[in-house]
Structure 1
């Protein structure tokens, strides 16, 4: 059996019964199950309809996400998540660059790298080079004043851990931010790049090897292997081109508010929901959130 999950923005909570039941009837699905009234609902069906993506496109215009997946095994044992523009609302390097006076230049490079137009490692090296001489204390200022957490993140981590899941934050950004974010949200472990600092200032260099697309895939393989978790029991979430490897390797790869070129390569696309959507598509009801 397959499950179709419909998701609306929790801020609007405007998923109507008519939308859900209309699609259910058109696809010959079973009884609709409401995971959270106005926000998430699902129904089962025997096959994936041929017009799946046409329906997805139509629902996007109504502010509704649609996810279709196999019912068996959709509740996962491990989550591996990107940080910047995924678990948090910012790109940390862009915030550092803004305070260094090179914001527009770095933001342009970041956008192109995340959309897959530039080599990630080369783009990171170039951007970090523009931060040379920035006082180390600016990192704490960015964490304190500029970082916001994506809604649903704490519930996602807490609920998966409460149900025996293992959670990993893996970032092409920096340990200075990733460790603080991981601690705040409750991740079990984290991986990220290391900014090199001397005499209280950034050197303009990052420790090698750089954690990019291949390293994110390697982390998924290493952690899941260590824990004896099959890849099909892993959920991955990210938004940039450097996340595509792990999104493709995981049993459920979620493109969350992703760059268009990234979303186009993923079957699970969340453009309107927040991180709680990752619980709904696993079949959790809001009453089961930790």
Structure 2
């Protein structure tokens, strides 16, 4: 795979995409290599869009027994009005747009899945600062550039059932869609491509590698690399575009944090993959499938 060494000495991955500069997105953002899609023996995004739809359709969301505190499964009139008026919707990616936790999958691919998954559970429940959990998880397996490349070639993203239809519906209504994630750009750009979301609408972390492809850390300047970071990203998105109604959809504590003054007006907890009761109980709306959200737009 093509490797570039930027001015800070970190290796980034070559790309077929062109990114617009944003105020809080470093110009050295790690991107995808063209070679992933040139080699017919490898898995490419364009080659697998149809198969991904088949995968998503064949996988049912994880069932979860509604909590006794889940009175928010039936949205109020006010919540429905905000949902229908939204001019921007920000989606979490792991366990929301996608069926998996990206870092857990990469760790499993590198042989450290169980230990990392335990940390992910703690991070999503809000019991430890996100930046602490992110650093701890990565230190357990230190993914190299070659391992990341291999993973991206062999493991296409598994899209949640109904998300493509929901994104299409929102876009058809004139609503701008964003992906705001504590995951990594390298793993999220293919998801954005599949869903037709502009890459400049992706706000996430990025892995950094040395000149020999060794793992050296992650970009701590990304707002999503720390607790409260999704709230910061959402606030900047809203301020930058003067959105009147902005909605955040996700499953974790970091998504819930985005619902605050200057951020999201509405937090919808999607529990179709992971049902985190502490988060669900504080949501404006608790949904177990995306069809519910689509129907509410009709």
State TM-score, norm by structure 2: 0.67
Aligned partners of 1:226 and 1:84: how far apart in 2?
Answer: 25
Q: Is the 8 A contact 1:80 1:169 kept in 2?
A: yes
Equivalent of residue 215 in structure 1, options 229, 239, 255:
229
Q: What is the rounded CA distance, in whole Å, between the counterparts of 1:88 and 1:200 in structure 2?
A: 31
Higher Rg: 1
Question: Contact conserved, 2:83 with 2:247, CA < 8 A, in 1?
Answer: no
Does structure 1 retain, via aligned residues, the 8 Å contact 2:186–2:206? yes
Per the alignment, in what secondary structure is the counterpart of residue 228 of structure 2? helix
Say whether the 8 Å CA contact 1:172–1:193 is kept in structure 2.
yes
Matches within 5 A, 1:77-116: 77-116=87-126
What secondary structure sits across from 1:229 in the alignment? coil
Paired residues of 1:171 and 1:191 also in contact (CA < 8 A): yes
Match of 1:228 among 238, 242, 246: 242
Which has more strand, going by share of residues?
1
The CA RMSD over aligned residues, in Å, is 2.8
Q: How many residues align?
A: 225
The residue aligned with 1:74 is 83
Return the match for 2:186 from 176, 182, 186: 176
Correspondence 1:255 to 2:272: no
C-alpha distance 179-133 of structure 1, shift in aligned 2 (>3 A): closer
Q: Residue 108 of structure 1: CA displacement?
A: 0.3
- Cα contact 1:237–1:247 (8 A) shared by 2: no
CA distance change for structure 1 residues 280 and 122 in 2, over 3 Å: closer, same or farther? same
Deviations 1:98-132 (A, max 9, x none): 12221111000001110111111101011111222
1:138 to partner: Cα distance: 3.5
The higher relative CO (CA closer than 8 Å, separation ≥ 6) is in 2
| Structure 2 unaligned blocks of 5 or more | 1-56, 59-66
Counterpart secondary structure, 2:144 = coil
Deviation at 1:136, TM superposition (A): 3.0
Provide the secondary structure at the position in 2 that maps to 1:148.
coil
Partner of residue 136 from structure 1, selected from 143, 146, 158: 146
Q: Unaligned 5+ residue runs, structure 1?
A: 1-9, 12-52, 285-290
1:134 Cα deviation (Å)? 3.4
